[in-house]
Amino acid sequence: MFIKNISIKNFRNIKEINLDLNNNYNFFYGLNGQGKTSILESIYILSLIKSFRSNSDRLLINHNNDNYELIGLLSSDKNHVFQVRIYFSTSDGKNIFLNSERINKISNFIGEIPSIFLSLDSLSVINGDPSFRRKFLDILLCQTSPLYLKSLQLYKSALNQRNQLLNNIYARLDDRRSLLSWDEQIAKYGAEILLFRTRVVEYLSHKTNNFYKKLSKKNDEIEIQYNSNIEIENGLNSGSVKDYYLNKLIQNYDTDIERKFTKFGPHRDDLIILKNGYSFKDFASTGENKTLVLSLKFSEAEYLYANKKEKPLLLMDDIFGELDEVRTDSLLSLTIFWLKTGPSFHENIIYIHQRFPSQDH
């Protein structure tokens, strides 16, 4: 997949621009605050509907306006050309159009434009709290499976309802027998989520280990494990995970009511990342952290490619300049770096750099 053209109106500090993009590498460079990240952000929104740096679309509208519009003209790897338009206004909210036809459900759209995004903030996947790691898995799986996205939406909604009910039961406004119908939904969708995540982590662990060796030129073993508080044994199907999970919820009524939240389930899970058997984040150097995050992102790109049969857009915001191990002293060396170490495909990269690479040293 690649973006042939993007048109941006009233978005961040951009009043109006129209850009033709190349189907290989696109480099943007310029001074601080010129709007480079905003261009990347608009492409990210065309792919995933939400921004990576704001939860409020109102903040994205250029000051003194009441709407923004993003139009992307995309081409699939097989040259199928289509248009995506996102129009947000303060009065009407967000509207998504695929070839002028309005999309009513986000789950019918996510995954049309597979993408990965990498910035220095991506380091939070290693160093940040567990929610960053869950979000990383969720964004990847939502792009490859509408079923996952649906299960995740239904799980979150059932969990909110259950937690609300726990509050009411604690305040003696409701009876604990009303928990069971939510428990069943949580166990059903939660089991789906667990199995999806367990499988993708197996894939990522293997790929990340390979990329890490290639990038660091060392023989360290990287392993990523999915750490769930619902135990999954090998070969269990979603039915038996669901039954196990349901029992766990029922057994913990007393503590859940006491704490007014649901203790067990994928909303509390995490990833464990190990280097040679030791916790990565506790022992790794800054350079190793960056190498790992790049390996993880390359693996994410490979996973998208394997599942969508479409090369994802690789959106990179100012990362090479910070990567110790890699000399990025020219456009050429950046390109060679990608060819040598990156995913099995090398196209569709939109790359932001603070300065033109050759000025870097």
Ligand X SMILES: Nc1ncnc2c1ncn2[C@@H]1O[C@H](COP(=O)(O)OP(=O)(O)O)[C@@H](O)[C@H]1O
Q: Which residues bind Mg ion (CB under 5 A)?
A: 37
Measured from the CB atom, the residue of 55 and 219 that comes closer to ligand X is 55
Using CB under 6 A, which of 2, 8, 21, 36 touches ligand X? 36
Radius of gyration of the chain (CA): 22
Q: Which is nearer to ligand X, 166 or 315 (CB)?
A: 315
User: Judged by CB, which is closer to ligand X: 34, or 289?
Assistant: 34
Span from 57-65, 188-196, 306-314, 320-328 in contact with ligand X (CB under 6 A): 57-65
Contact between 67 and ligand X per CB under 6 A: no
Amino acid letter, residue 32: N
Q: Which of 26, 38, 151, 299 is close enough to bind ligand X by CB under 6 A? A: 38
Choose from ligand X, Mg ion, none: what does 115 bind? Cβ within 5-8 Å by kind. none
What, of Mg ion, ligand X, none, does residue 275 touch, CB below 5 to 8 Å by kind? none
Return the one option of Mg ion, ligand X, none that residue 38 interacts with (CB less than 5 to 8 A, by type).
Answer: ligand X
Q: Considering the complex, what minimum distance in angstroms separates the CB of residue 118 from Mg ion?
A: 13
Task: Candidates 32, 100, 219, 234: give the one binding ligand X (CB under 6 A).
Answer: 32
**Of 7, 22, 34, 95, the one binding ligand X by CB under 6 A:** 34
Choose among ligand X, Mg ion, none what residue 99 binds, the Cβ cut-off being 5 to 8 Å by kind. none
Using CB under 6 A, count the residues that bind ligand X. Answer: 15
Q: In angstroms, give the least distance from the CB of 45 to ligand X.
A: 13
Sole binder of ligand X in the list 63, 78, 102, 172 (CB under 6 A)? 63
Closest CB to ligand X among 68 and 189?
A: 68
Rule CB under 6 A: which of 96-135 touch ligand X? none
Question: Contact residues for ligand X (CB under 6 A)?
Answer: 12-13, 30, 32-38, 59-63
